[in-house]
Amino acid sequence: MFFSLSTPEYNTFQSNTTKVRANLCTGVVEILDKHQDLIGNMDLNLLEIETNFENKIEKMVFLIQEAILLVSTKGLDKTDERIGTRVYLYAKKAVELTGSLSLEENIKQMEQKKNEVEKEEQRLADPANANIFSSIRCRLGLVQDELAFYEKLVEIIKQRKS
């Protein structure tokens, strides 16, 4: 089975994937070879990938922010029998959860995002910015999403270290 994860900053693929477990907005799905075609959404949830590399099972776990998951058994060429199951994930942001993730660095990022949210909320409350309220609200929404991602990431890192 083939797996691909793409974000604006990060791309990875695995050709020897044995299982993908995704926490979609509608529930959990485990994707094995010959899985039916599927489209799903993910937001601030975990993705687990199992691969078989040199007869050794390896697991990778990612925290995913806003993503679309696609599972295809045919690919673009419907006549090609060699395709097999393909899993594609297109995400806004993804972080692989490894032991080397720095709690301090991610807390620092979270605090920076909190400060940005406060700054945007102050700009929104200022009547002098009445003509640009919609752009401030858009920016505030983006920063709040980033803050929620870092809060979840810090929570997960703390759980894994305890």
Mean pLDDT by 10 residues, the chain (162 residues): 89 88 87 84 91 87 92 68 80 90 93 95 85 87 94 93 80
Distance of CA 31 to the CA centre of its chain: 17
Task: Look at residue 101 and give its three-state secondary structure.
Answer: coil
Please give the model's pTM, rounded to 2 decimal places: 0.83
**pLDDT of 47:** 92
Which class is domain 2-96? Answer: mainly beta
**pLDDT of 82:** 57
Could you tell me where the DSSP H helices lie in 20-65? Answer: none
* 135, 113, 9, 132: CA torsion to nearest 10: 10
Angle at 14 between CA 8 and CA 15, to 5 degrees: 135
In the chain, domain spans: 2-96, 103-161
**pLDDT of 100:** 86
CA–CA distance, 123 with 127 (Å, rounded to integer): 8
CA–CA distance, 33 with 51 (Å, rounded to integer): 12
**pLDDT of 36:** 81
